[in-house]
Amino acid sequence: MMPALFNHVWQSTLFAAAAALLTVAFRRNRAQLRYGLWFVASVKFLVPFAALASIGSLLESKQALVPIVSVMTSPAIRGFNAPFAELSLGAAPLAASARTIDWIAPSLFAVWLCGVVVIAIRRVNEWRRIRAAVRFSTPWDGRTNASAKIQVRTVPTMQEPGVVGLFHPVVFLPAGIDTYLTADQLAAVISHEVCHAHRRDNLTAAVHMLVEAVFWFHPMVWWIGARLIAEREHACDEHVIAVTGEPLAYAEGIVTVCRRYLETPLMSVAGVGGADIKARIESILSNRIGARLTLPKRLVLATAALVSLVVPIAAGAIDAAAGQLPGVTPAGPPIDPETRFEVVSIKPFDASAGASPRISTRPGRYEQAGMPLRLLVGEGLGGVPLGRIVGLPAWIDTERYTILAKAPDGPVPNATALAIMTANLLKDRFKMATHTETREMAVFNLVFARDDKRRGPGLKETSAECRAKIADEARHVGTVQASELNECVKLLMNPGVARFSGVQMAFMTNFLTQSVGRPVIDKTGLTGVYDFSLTWTPEVGGGDPDTPSLFTAVQEQLGLKLESARGPVEVIVVDRFEKPTFD
């Protein structure tokens, strides 16, 4: 949670800095444009890139992303984009610093909450002052240039003109303002306030006040707020000059109004006296109106907007693809596709001595005895669900082997490296050759059984300690001791019983695909690491008659269910697969 928050603040800061550079580039253009850039920078603090990245992670096509995966997943790019993604504690200091961690997070939250409460109290007091002023207001009986939709009222307690209201803004004038302003000055001042009302400046100010309340600790948020006030006033100044053509009367009106009040106007009220008065007066007297956008600058803005949307979506798609593309790890360099086991032994499985089928994936070693060979094929093809693998010979379901494989000495290979070594084992010893294509198939969608998405007793999130070890091992090969990883990642599969620890949903859907004989598509949205426990009555081999069927067990024990469906499925077609030679 903390790394994600830090990365969001960092990314929003970079976005705001980019917006600031654009405002410099467009300093000679209309203030309305610069105001829009600052407002987008403000809203970015409420919209994390992760929300857009999650959209990209839903994209199905992965092959088109291969040429840029190695760039987007490089440590340099990731370190710049999300420098706090690696923020975690290793296994060794985790226990020693547990007490420290226990109080740091609550303390930081308490400090943040105190800041939010203080700002909320200030905003409530401002709102109460505004409400008090509204209660004493009366309709303005003088002439105005406001449209019929914009009300103009006078308030004896207000010291300067302003606009009140978010969705139905009302222009408020101090009582007696027509006694110290000439007709031209008053018309210009009212035109300024009507401009604020039409622009809905109070509404955008409220949005930024929410940003300030949540991110009160960030100096750039307050700087953005000051720039928003300055640019909204300049935008209305430009409007008044263009409409009235009386810059001198307008400037005199502003100076006269400012001399009659002492307090700083409320941020939630767009008034005529906001921002740097001296700079505004100089701009007004010079009759300065920003230039309209030229075609090149329009292209620059369009490109910036497109990049700000496409980059996070593409990053999400690449992250989703990177974990499944051979030779690519989510946070490391590409793995050599020629990586192989150092030692491989294949023998016929002897069940006459009472040996039971088993599978073991200890770090650096792979052992399979008497298990369906399809499981090994699924591992070698990058964890593709077995229902998406077609064209295997019939003997693969009847022949049983004992396969022992050992990785070269050195760092313990991660899951991606192990899949590549398994694929090369199949190519070398079983002469496997494949290609991919899309077919319409009957599938099962794995979804939550309950509307509230409550998980069953047999589906639990892996412990925080194990999640940290598994994530660290996935990022940096060989950083976790094999004994520690063995305690976190456990696989037990027997007829009618499955116990998995420290695995992702892809492993579970692969197992269910093998068990139900149809591709199982994960629609749960679960992206973490989990422990599964499942007991059922197998169709072959009997079992406890009191245990449920696999479909019932999935619903009762995992809180999930398998729904029948049809759809286009990308499958791997096996063109060649031969029986191995024995040692």
Can you give 137-190 as a three-state secondary structure string? CEECCCCCCCCCCCEEEEECCCCCCEEECCCCCEEEEECCHHHCCCHHHHHHHH
Question: Is residue 240 assigned to a domain?
Answer: yes
- Give the whole-angstrom CA distance, residue 187 versus residue 185: 5
CA angle 560/571/349 to nearest 5° reads 80
Mean pLDDT by 10-residue block, N- to C-terminus, for the chain (583 residues)? 72 87 88 89 84 62 44 46 48 39 71 90 85 80 67 76 83 81 83 86 90 90 90 86 79 77 50 62 74 81 79 64 45 70 87 74 76 82 76 88 84 74 89 90 90 92 85 60 66 83 86 82 90 83 69 93 87 91 77
Q: Is residue 203 part of a domain?
A: yes
pLDDT attached to residue 274: 53
- Alpha-carbon distance 274 to 201, whole Å? 12
With H, G, I as helix, E, B as strand and everything else as coil, classify residue 216: coil
> How deeply is 286 buried, as exposed, middle or buried, from its count of CB atoms within 10 A (0-12, 13-18, 19+)?
exposed
> Does one domain contain both 551 and 472?
yes
> What is the token pair recorded at 129?
């002052």
Q: Are 525 and 435 found together in one domain?
A: yes
Domain with 449, as residue range(s), is 335-576
> What is the reported pLDDT for 577?
93
DSSP state of 51: H
Output the CA torsion sign for 307, 308, 309, 310: positive
Do 382 and 296 share a structural domain?
no
Residues 108 and 254 both lie in one domain? yes
* 300 and 342 share one domain: no
330 located within any domain: no
Whether residue 290 is found in the same domain as residue 346: no
Q: Which two tokens stand for residue 420?
A: 């590549």
**Same-domain status, 378 and 247:** no
- Count of CB atoms situated within 10 Å of the CB of 56: 20
Residue ending a domain, choose from 262, 287, 307: 307
Tokens for 137, please give them: 């207001």
Is residue 427 in some structural domain? yes
Of 449, 458, 462, whose CA–CA distance to 527 is shortest? 462
Does a structural domain hold residue 314?
A: no
In a domain, 528, yes or no: yes
3-class SS shares of the chain: helix, strand, coil, % to 5:
50, 15, 35
Instruction: Please give the structure tokens belonging to residue 97.
Output: 């610093």
Whether the pTM exceeds 0.75: the reply is no
Determine contact, residues 417/437, Cβ cutoff 8 Å: no
pLDDT given for residue 551 in this prediction: 92
Q: How many domains does the chain have?
A: 2
Burial 445-471 (b: 16+ CB within 10 A, else e): bbbbbeeeeebbebbeebeebbbbbbb
Domain boundary among 254, 288, 307: 307
Indicate if 70 and 144 belong to the same structural domain. Answer: yes
Dihedral over Cα of 7, 12, 15, 16: its sign:
negative
Give a yes or no: residue 97 inside a domain.
Answer: yes
Q: How far apart are CA 172 and CA 92, in angstroms?
A: 65
- CA angle 307/308/310 to nearest 5° reads 60
396 and 279 fall within a common domain: no
Residue that terminates a domain, selected from 268, 291, 307: 307
Are residues 298 and 341 both part of a single domain? Answer: no
Same domain? For 275 and 340 the reply is no
Do the domain assignments include residue 313?
Answer: no
What pLDDT does 241 receive?
Answer: 84
Q: How many CB atoms lie within 10 A of CB 314?
A: 18
Residues constituting the chain: 583
φ/ψ of residue 210, rounded to 5 = -65, -40
Strand order across the beta sheet in which 389-390 lies: 389-390, 560-576, 433-448, 520-522
235 plus 356 within the same structural domain: no
Residue 329's pLDDT is: 43
